[in-house]
Structure 1
Amino acid sequence: MQFLKILFWCLLAFVAALFTYGNWFSVPIRLWGGLVAETNLPALLLVTFLAGLLPTLAWQSALRWRLRQRLASTERALAELRTVPLIVPASPSTPAVQDIAPS
């Protein structure tokens, strides 16, 4: 299975390299105030990909951190409940202690 994973990533890198080689030309980007930025198409695609990926990764890592904290606090509470001795009420079959009147 590890071999297939490595093969997949190698093929993906090869396709990305072919795309970069075949599309290495400048693309004009119109900015505010009439400014125009000339950038390469692969660099532009990489920047837009990272602009979408990084906030999603940050959100996911924050969510996982929060869930780990909740799980840890729940496990601590469960451990505390396990250490507290459980008081079991007397069953009705055991006789209750009766007050004996002094004679």
Structure 2
Amino acid sequence: MQIIRTIVWVLVLVALLLFSLNNWETVSVKIWEGLILDTKLPVLVFASFLLGLLPMWLLHKGAKWRFNRRISALENSVRAASVTTPVAAPVPSPLDPVAADPAAPPPAGLP
């Protein structure tokens, strides 16, 4: 799986390099009335991509953090529930003499 991830990243970087080489032109961006920014087109595209990616990345990290906290809380509650005190053996009733002493011979009336 690691080789597939590496191949995909190499292909993305090669595509970004080819895009940058073919579109290396100066672009004027008017920010305010008297402020104009002259930058290269690939820089502008990459900055726009990062500005769009940042909110989704932060949302993903927040959800992942919240789910990890929820899983930890559930695991701790299960762990605490499984470490309970052992239940004592039931006390045999006087009506059931066989259950009181399993090694004793059965009563005379039972086969």
TM-score class, shorter-chain normalisation, is: 0.7 to 0.9
Backbone CA RMSD of aligned residues: 2.3
| Alpha-carbon distance, 1:69 to partner | 0.7
- Alpha carbons of structure 1 residues 65 and 6: separation in structure 2 relative to 1, 3 Å: same
Give the helix-richer structure, 1 or 2: 1
Partner of 2:44: 44
C-alpha distance 78-20 of structure 1, shift in aligned 2 (>3 A): same
> Gaps spanning 5+ residues in structure 2: where?
96-111
Report the CA distance shift for 1:4/1:76 in structure 2 as closer, same or farther (over 3 A): closer
Match of 1:95 in 2: 93
Considering only CA atoms, is the larger Rg found in Structure 1 or Structure 2? 2
> How does the TM-score come out when normalised to structure 2?
0.70
**Higher RCO by CA contacts (8 Å cutoff, separation 6 or greater):** 1
Structure 1 gaps, min length 5: 98-103
- For 2:35 and 2:74, the matched residues in 1 are separated by 55
Aligned partner of 1:35 in structure 2 is 35
Query: Hey, what's the Cα distance between the residues in 2 that align with 1:70 and 1:32?
Result: 46
Deviation at 1:5, TM superposition (A): 3.0
Deviations 1:34-85 (A, max 9, x none): 4221111000011111111122111111111111111111111111111123
Distance 2:3 2:71 in 1: 35
Percent identity over paired residues: 28
TM-aligned CA deviation for residue 19 of structure 1: 0.8
* Structure 1 position 53 matched with structure 2 position 53: yes
How many residue pairs get aligned? The number is 93
Partner Cα distance (1:61, 1:36) in 2: 35
Length-normalised TM-score, structure 1: 0.75
> What is the CA distance between 1:86 and its match in structure 2?
6.2
